[in-house]
Amino acid sequence: MKRRWNWPIWVGFVFVLGGLFSYGFFARFPIARDFPWANLLLFGIGGALLFVGLFRAFGRPQLYRGKIVGTILTAIALFLFAFFSYEIFYVLRQVPPSTGAPRVGQKAPEFTLLDQNEKPITLAALLSGSKAAVLIFYRGFW
């Protein structure tokens, strides 16, 4: 008898890939970036499907295929999840201390920098006629 296609293995693996590669999309929304629950949900669904697929492949091998491919894809999925977790829960938290940053109540350092049109902008000019200015330091796009 021809054994059946073990679809949860493949669909589960696609969910795991989705969990990894959708980070750039979900990171656009602060609610999904502060904690990557959307990505972890995709990893979780993928993991559950892979587990079901492996259970079928090894539990009823006369009915379902996928012992070898299921093992390989599950190993890859585990590696991808470990990589994602390492990046999200370790690398992103390696922020150096900012001991020299001006504190609340201190004078903010004056500056002159070029804007996107190569026009020099000073802090004094930004503050004149305004109530306040919020300076957002970011890593850059390079």
Partner 1 sequence: MRSFQQRLPNFNARGIRVIGISVDRPEINKRQSQKLGYTFPLLSDPQAGLIRRYGVLHSGAGPKGADIARPAEFLIDSSGVVRWVNLTENIAVRARPEQVLDASNQFGPVGR
Q: What's the CA gap between 15 and 42, in Å, rounded?
A: 6
Strand 112-114, strand 120-122: pairing: antiparallel
Does residue 107 interact with partner 1 by CB under 8 A? yes
Does residue 24 interact with partner 1 by CB under 8 A? no
Give, in order, the Cα–Cα distances in Å from 43 to each of 31, 39, 82.
18, 6, 11
Does residue 96 interact with partner 1 by CB under 8 A? yes
Does residue 124 interact with partner 1 by CB under 8 A? yes
Does residue 90 interact with partner 1 by CB under 8 A? no
Within 8 A by CB and 6+ apart from 76, the residues are: 13
Give the shortest CB-60-to-partner 1 separation in angstroms: 43
For partner 1, the binding residue among 28, 59, 62, 68 (CB under 8 A) is: 28
Name the residues that contact partner 1, by CB under 8 A: 27-28, 30, 33-34, 36, 88, 92-93, 95-96, 98-111, 113-118, 121, 123-124, 126-142
